[in-house]
A = this chain, B = another copy of it.
């Protein structure tokens, strides 16, 4: 189930320490201007390097295997891969029997009956999101004048994010964060009742990204304590503009043309330098584990561009479906 989308369809593949990871974007309209370099701006935002991110350094350069000719998409599936280069697999040997708490080690062993590639978390690695970001670059070209923008608004519970990161580094521990995504000038009427609402499509994509613990739209969890008269957003003009935006730009699961707003929460990186308890499946006894490897203090730092890509991919699919069913709309 490594594909998302009904018409604009993204398929991911690869393992953290395999030869390459990649993505296929199918259902991509022909004639979209794109070249290898166009992918790097977003791919670079996903890369490590800054304070609080892993020392694993991947060039991440995309090779276009199909679907692009003379600087434009051809209508055939676009395939992008990047080779894995900076691999230290020995770091991961012990996790087969001593699963890291919070990681997919335990479930991937069970799920795949012991055959999973567990090096660097294999197919469960955050590295696989390279393909999400690459597909997002094309998706953003389809969402047109809509401006999808996500940023980290708090880390470790604080909005002084730099300070929070430095404190976590000092304690050799990790922290989580909250990312807010906004879409300015979104298309009106995106989302298909009953089961492919805008929220369903976006949350489906968002929860594919490792480490996400929750999502809320507009006033979100705060809505529970609001009154209806307070929560409702009054319409104020014939374009459907509303005076407030508690709905986050969505009514009945469908975009109402106002700014789309949602927030997601990213858990603290599971690979902490602090010693932890876990179970040794070989000895049958509790043991303690100190994750070495190279990891991010706050993985949320690298995720805004992934959230943008996930959102743009869901929107691109909804746009093509809507255009298929409804064509050009006059209302």
CB pair A233–B101 under 8 Å, yes or no, is yes
Output the least CB separation between A14 and chain B (Å): 5
> Which A77-114 residues have a C-beta within 8 angstroms of B?
77, 79, 81, 99-104, 106-114
Copies of the polypeptide in the assembly: 4
Contact digits for A122-133, partner B, Cβ 8 Å, 1 yes 0 no: 111000100000
Give the residue name and chain of the B residue nearest to A188 (CB). Answer: B110
Give the residue name and chain of the B residue nearest to A11 (CB). Answer: B11
For the complex, what is the distance from the CA of A124 to the CA of B284, rounded to whole Å?
53
CB pair B252–A210 under 8 Å, yes or no, is yes
Q: Which residues of B contact A216 (CB under 8 A)?
A: 213-216, 221, 265
Q: Which residues of B contact A69 (CB under 8 A)?
A: 15, 18, 115, 117
For the complex, what is the distance from the CA of A174 to the CA of B185, rounded to whole Å?
31
| Interface size range of chain A in the complex | 35 or more
Known: A99-B235, A221-B213. A14 touches B197 (CB 8 A): no
Q: Is A192's CB within 8 Å of the partner chain B?
A: yes
CB pair A116–B74 under 8 Å, yes or no, is yes
Q: Is A199's CB within 8 Å of the partner chain B?
A: yes
Give the residue name and chain of the B residue nearest to A65 (CB). Answer: B20
Output the least CB separation between A12 and chain B (Å): 5
Q: Which residues of B contact A320 (CB under 8 A)?
A: 324-325
Q: Is A220's CB within 8 Å of the partner chain B?
A: yes
Output the least CB separation between A318 and chain B (Å): 9
Q: Given A200-B204, A200-B207, A214-B217, 9 more contacts at CB 8 Å?
A: A2-B195, A7-B7, A22-B65, A178-B221, A195-B204, A213-B223, A231-B270, A238-B284, A324-B325
Interchain Cβ contacts under 8 Å between A and B, 8 examples? A14-B66, A74-B112, A108-B254, A109-B331, A219-B267, A227-B268, A228-B274, A234-B276
